[in-house]
Chains A and B, each alone.
Chain A
């Protein structure tokens, strides 16, 4: 492609200065080859001058047979910047854990240089590889080359969004289950649900290997799977002593700050009352190698996190306190649970109602009953503190 029209961009040029890497330099680099990227600079400079965005609502565009994966994007200044009049986003399902070979990345770059703006996000908020900006006629070409390279589109709209996970066992000693395997297997099990929106609203899934939750599963995923363990924290008394010898005030920094006060330090030995431990990771984070998660490892499954729109933000809450995802039966139970959740939510959920909001609207107890889970005390911070109980037995009589 030829070099595009050049625009004066004094405001954006300011953002080429400074120590942090500059997105403006990236757009300018792409503009060397892409007239779309050049026009994007022009429109963005106008936004910086006017303090307002110039993109219109998405339209319905996509590849044949898919309902998601492409977000239509149109400029409201299409006459002035015709190269970005149509500037659609493509979401590509990233490999679990965001690991790449340079060969795969170069393949993606070649496709996008030929068929789009040459601008990407590595990565989008949900985790996908984002190709920023192309026209409708290029979509099928991009799709065909992506699949030839072994990649596929991710989710968008009211479907299962691209699942994502932390790097888990690939590079972390704290991973309590194989996050990348679970992420990949769920992604492959639900290709239809990812590519063809049929839900009341979006459904996100994130897998974190331990309660540190590096992928923010508990805040951002409708289904959050967070690694934990059942038995005792593994401790190496020699190494703990070494931390103390090197100046860590174990009493003040660790013991007195443990949320359940489940440990004692006598100046030589750390004693943990594991029965009271809630597996928060604080002591383990503070003394890596000396302390480690237990050996009986698995995961907790939680439901319902979301951002504020529309009834208010929610964190995920406990559905299954402990599950061993290496066990085939548990894995099938998890898939069945998802199918149950989707069936109830699709039947009764309102348009744009996330599953977490839906569960609260119908009552979490009723929701559990509908998806076939028994209520347990692990699911609540505390039992209800109001007396307005819908006593089922009384109504039947």
Chain B
């Protein structure tokens, strides 16, 4: 057989249910039907029901086949996944909604995450499959979502959308930096220089990798290597990314930081970065109780204080950071004050101040 290359992905039209093919670009409106279920109505009058279910992202082929069984039974063999890794079942038959939800819940996949709710946590690989992880991803996500499940399923109401994301190191392949709540794995120990560094890495590359010039060439026992100016290290791990001989992971010092108030949507306020709320929480597997409690506390502040459809960052801008820190019971510290490239922009440069 001829070896095929550069064929690209299958064309998406092959995978669209007939109702979508027919009404492509001709949808009129959509609305919630019940938690986790929405209906899209086309100009033609056709209706498409979407049932959204929780998924752990890490899926066995066995589970994917179970999803397929359900899609064959209720959705004529069509399904999709969302940008937040939920699974969605698509059907034109309203009568299929109830039995499908019952089967999904029996399979351990609760339905929810549509509209005003807390949806799935976008996350990274963690200790399951990554070399640079400062924490596990799946374990924290599972623990946090077990705790917040009622906000996903709609059993508890929330004022609007709240997006949580987790990245297990500063590389942020989960790009958590614009999330309502971000959980970020952090290292807190400068890299250790391994003895065989010069055999594994190019020293000029390693030196150039450091954004704070904390790495300089050195000679040890007559061998070329590097030395680390430890006070200048802010643990970005960029040097480790270019050179495996500079490991940073540390069982006791690694952990998690919590960030709040970011968003990507342009609705009402412009997109915003998440800001530091808690500089450090320990890695405490298997359930990271400190992280779970902190996230819950922040969620509850938002649920209590946000106006309808007000995002976390908008709420904090309105009530002021001093009040947020007071409500959250978080001690404001030196770590909260930026000292990197755009630091000056983050200082309060006005006499307009929320009195705390």
Chain A contact residues, CB within 8 Å of chain B: 11-12, 14-15, 17-27, 29-30, 32, 37, 40, 44, 47-48, 50-58, 64-66, 73, 87, 89, 93-106, 108-110, 112-113, 118-123, 125-127, 132-133, 144, 147-148, 150-152, 164, 166-167, 169-173, 175, 178, 180, 184, 187-188, 191-192, 195, 211-220, 226, 253, 257-259, 278-282, 285-286, 288-289, 292, 307-313, 315, 350-352
Contact = CB atoms under 8 A, between A and B. Distances in A.
Interface in B227-281: 236, 238, 241-242, 244, 249-252, 254, 262, 264-269, 271, 273
B12 A99 contact: yes
Contacts of B177: 219, 307-308, 313
24 contacts: A20-B142, A21-B54, A25-B108, A29-B63, A30-B61, A44-B136, A53-B133, A55-B130, A66-B5, A89-B129, A101-B78, A105-B68, A106-B65, A118-B61, A121-B125, A123-B81, A150-B7, A164-B83, A170-B24, A171-B90, A219-B178, A253-B307, A292-B29, A312-B342
Most B CB contacts (10 A, CB to CB) among A66, A109, A113 go to A109
Most A CB contacts (10 A, CB to CB) among B3, B56, B136, B167 go to B56
A216 B83 contact: yes
A121 B266 contact: no
A259 B269 contact: yes
Contacts of A64: 3
A100 B80 CA distance: 6
Contacts of B25: 169, 175, 178
Interface in B93-138: 108-110, 122, 124-133, 136, 138
Contacts of B5: 65-66, 147, 152, 195
A51 B72 contact: no
B149 A99 contact: no
A166 B133 CA distance: 28
Contacts of A280: 266-268
Contact of B80 (A15, A98, A133): A98
Given A27-B60, A215-B83, A312-B340, 13 more contacts: A52-B127, A99-B16, A102-B77, A104-B15, A125-B122, A125-B175, A132-B58, A173-B28, A173-B40, A213-B271, A307-B175, A308-B172, A352-B238
- Nearest 5 interchain pairs by C-beta: A18-B146, A307-B172, A289-B29, A211-B266, A102-B68
A73 B130 CA distance: 8
Most A CB contacts (10 A, CB to CB) among B139, B171, B250 go to B139
B57 interface: yes
B264 to A, nearest CB: 4
Contact of A51 (B16, B60, B174, B285): B285
Contacts of B79: 99-100, 102, 105
B209 interface: yes
B61 A112 contact: yes
Nearest to B15: A99
B30 interface: yes
Given A152-B6, A313-B177, A121 B59 contact: yes
B264 A213 contact: yes
Contact of A121 (B57, B63, B141, B142): B57
B186 to A, nearest CB: 12
B324 interface: no
A52 B133 CA distance: 8
B11 interface: yes
Contact of A310 (B8, B54, B238): B238
B223 interface: no
A394 B149 CA distance: 64
A99 B71 CA distance: 12
A185 B65 CA distance: 30
A351 B208 contact: yes
B174 A125 contact: yes
A176 to B, nearest CB: 11
A84 to B, nearest CB: 10
Contact of B10 (A66, A151, A180): A151
Given A52-B251, A259-B268, A44 B128 contact: yes
B268 A170 contact: no
Contact of A57 (B71, B131, B208): B131
Given A99-B80, A122-B87, A173-B28, A187 B9 contact: yes
Most A CB contacts (10 A, CB to CB) among B48, B126, B178 go to B178
A243 B59 CA distance: 41
Contact of A26 (B3, B63, B173): B63
B199 to A, nearest CB: 14
Given A122-B81, A122-B85, A308-B170, A219 B286 contact: no
Most A CB contacts (10 A, CB to CB) among B28, B64, B136 go to B64
Contact of B139 (A48, A104, A191): A48
A312 B9 contact: no
Contacts of A51: 251-252, 254, 283, 285
A372 B136 CA distance: 45
A340 B77 CA distance: 43
A96 B9 contact: yes
Most B CB contacts (10 A, CB to CB) among A87, A144, A216, A310 go to A216
Contact of A188 (B8, B55, B285): B8
B143 interface: yes
A345 B11 CA distance: 31
Nearest to B185: A53
A170 B82 CA distance: 13
Contact of B242 (A175, A311, A352): A352
A109 B171 contact: no
Contact of A123 (B29, B85, B308): B85
A180 to B, nearest CB: 5
Nearest to A133: B129
Contacts of A286: 309
A30 B149 contact: no
Contact of B265 (A20, A52, A98, A213): A213
A55 B308 CA distance: 44
Contacts of A19: 110, 146, 149
B83 A122 contact: no
A14 B146 CA distance: 12
Contacts of B50: 171
A122 B252 CA distance: 32
Contacts of B139: 15, 48
A94 B128 contact: no
A171 B40 contact: yes
Given A58-B131, A184-B11, A281-B267, A14 B241 contact: no
A218 B264 contact: yes
A288 B146 contact: no
